Amino acid sequence: MYPKFESAPVDSEECVSAQMHPLGDKHSEEELARKTKVVAGSLIMTTMRAFIVSALEAAVALLLRTNYGTRQQDVGLLIAMAFLASIPVHYCRTSLSWLMSDIGWMRLANFVALLGAVLCFPQTCTTGNCMWQLIIGSMLLFPCLYVSDSLNWGTASKHFLSPGTSLLDAPHASLWFIIGSDGIGRTFGPWVARLMVDSGGQVRYSWMQFLVLVAFTILFEAKIVPNILL
């Protein structure tokens, strides 16, 4: 009743060809390349995020003391306001997650972070209260950049390569994440930020921050989005 394959003729050359060139090899190589680009690009973005937010903390504290004469005890409070803005931003994102895809939220967060970076330029201050404009810009930049990077890293975790086959599998990627974020970004961010403020004031620091954010956004659009596997 059921077909038996024992007596079916076998073409040995076809079998060898199938073993040498299995179906899907080309597709698998393309998929592997796309996963590699997503994970590697996400690691670079995480390093850039750590660099920007650690630089923000150091530079704003220095600017508040030197440019605006803020009392030392008030500096910590004002910087904490920027960091605590992450709570309503996170709540808004989670409550309204149904409005758009993760990519859409990342694009929105990147745009708002860039807007915050623009507000940090003293040239954009027309109200006369430039200190509060710097704080508001930081309140936009800090949480939105974290939202974008966290969503991006969640996407990257779905593209980790098979364990033991690559330096971009889950264990290695977690190691590179820590090295890039804490070892590189948080190490050089405050140092470079203070160097910018000391050498060129708020203007030079703002340009550095803005250009790194632009590179962050370009990397996301050019390398991450086109290679995400749906």
Instruction: Name residues whose C-beta falls within 8 Å of residue 28's C-beta, 6 or more positions apart in sequence.
Output: none
How many domains does the chain divide into?
1
Assess if residue 26 is contained within a domain.
Answer: no
Assess if residue 24 is contained within a domain.
Answer: no
Assess if residue 117 is contained within a domain.
Answer: yes
Q: At 104, which CATH number?
A: 1.20.1250.20
Assess if residue 222 is contained within a domain.
Answer: yes
3-state helix, strand and coil shares in percent for the chain, rounded to the nearest 5: 80, 0, 20
- Measured over the CA atoms of residue 148, residue 153, residue 158 and residue 160, the dihedral's sign is positive
Q: What is the pLDDT of residue 70?
A: 87
Q: What is the pLDDT of residue 3?
A: 45
Assess if residue 20 is contained within a domain.
Answer: no
Assess if residue 16 is contained within a domain.
Answer: no
**Domain that residue 92 falls in:** 40-227
Q: What is the pLDDT of residue 28?
A: 86
Q: What is the pLDDT of residue 55?
A: 95
What averages of pLDDT result for each successive group of 10 residues across the chain (230 residues)?
A: 46 44 60 93 95 94 91 88 90 91 93 95 85 93 92 91 88 94 95 94 95 95 89
Assess if residue 8 is contained within a domain.
Answer: no
Read off the pTM: 0.83
Amino acid occupying residue 24: G
Instruction: Name residues whose C-beta falls within 8 Å of residue 210's C-beta, 6 or more positions apart in sequence.
Output: 114, 117, 118, 120, 121
Assess if residue 93 is contained within a domain.
Answer: yes
Q: What is the pLDDT of residue 160?
A: 92
Q: What is the pLDDT of residue 60?
A: 94
